[in-house]
């Protein structure tokens, strides 16, 4: 059984408590890639009416980006762009962006955060929405990048015959990307030496 801090309210916590919590957190943090990959796998078999399931779509999007020579960060963004479909059915880009935020550039974060609106150009007019909704971002520095992500990788990745690499191709990339956050309020604390806690 793991050691536990000894307080009932945060205001009563001590530096020793936080040393103990820090040790536990570091171990928990190392499991993040496993939890993310397990959550992505929940999309397996979820067709939602599409020609391929959402898991295959995610793999196919990442495959297209990889084959096009994109860097690992971009490929992982492509892989995880729709991971939010399970818990954020009405705002899935927000969920994907929240997961990726500590690990990716501002350009890739913006692309993932807004990819749903940009993808809407291809179908919003079929469901009574404004396909030009993306135009509210005209002039934004990452507009062209996001438009390109949709055109080259997301939009064409619904092909039952399309190349779809297995998750094993992408797992090492996810693990490398999530090994160390670069955008987190906890970044300074993560760099601090963690003393071995005793019960």
What pLDDT was estimated at residue 1?
A: 52
Residue 14 located in a structural domain: no
Please determine, for residue 180, whether its predicted confidence score (pLDDT) is greater than 70. yes
Domain count, the chain: 1
CATH of the domain at 182: 1.10.3210.10
Residue 101 located in a structural domain: yes
∠123-148-50 over CA atoms, to 5°?
35
Q: For residue 6, what pLDDT band results from cuts at 50, 70 and 90?
A: confident
Residue 77 located in a structural domain: yes
Q: How many CB atoms lie within 10 A of CB 39?
A: 16
Residue 41 located in a structural domain: yes
- Average pLDDT value for residue range 158-184: 96
Residue 11 located in a structural domain: no
Domain housing 121: 30-191
Q: For residue 195, what pLDDT band results from cuts at 50, 70 and 90?
A: very low
Residue 58 located in a structural domain: yes
27's CB contacts (< 8 A; 6+ apart) are none
Which tens digits make up the pLDDT trace of 33-88?
999 999 999 999 999 999 999 999 999 999 999 999 999 999 999 999 999 999 99
């Amino acid at each position: 059984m793991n050691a536990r801090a000894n307080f009932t309210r945060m205001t009563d916590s001590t530096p020793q408590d936080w040393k103990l919590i820090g040790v536990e957190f570091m171990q928990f943090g190392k499991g993040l890639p496993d939890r993310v990959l397990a959550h992505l796998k929940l999309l397996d078999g979820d067709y939602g009416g599409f020609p391929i399931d959402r898991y295959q779509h995610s793999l196919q999007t990442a495959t297209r980006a990889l084959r096009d020579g994109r860097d690992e960060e971009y490929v992982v963004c492509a892989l995880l762009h729709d991971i939010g479909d399970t818990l954020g059915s009405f705002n899935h880009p927000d969920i994907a962006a929240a997961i990726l935020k500590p690990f990716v550039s501002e350009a890739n974060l913006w692309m993932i955060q807004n990819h749903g609106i940009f993808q809407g150009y291809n179908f919003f007019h079929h469901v009574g929405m404004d396909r030009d909704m993306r135009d509210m971002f005209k002039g934004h520095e990452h507009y062209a990048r996001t438009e390109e992500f949709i055109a080259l990788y997301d939009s064409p990745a619904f092909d039952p015959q399309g190349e779809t690499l297995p998750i094993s191709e992408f797992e090492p990339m996810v693990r490398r990307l999530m090994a160390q956050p670069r955008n987190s309020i906890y970044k300074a604390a993560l760099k601090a030496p963690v003393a071995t806690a005793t019960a």
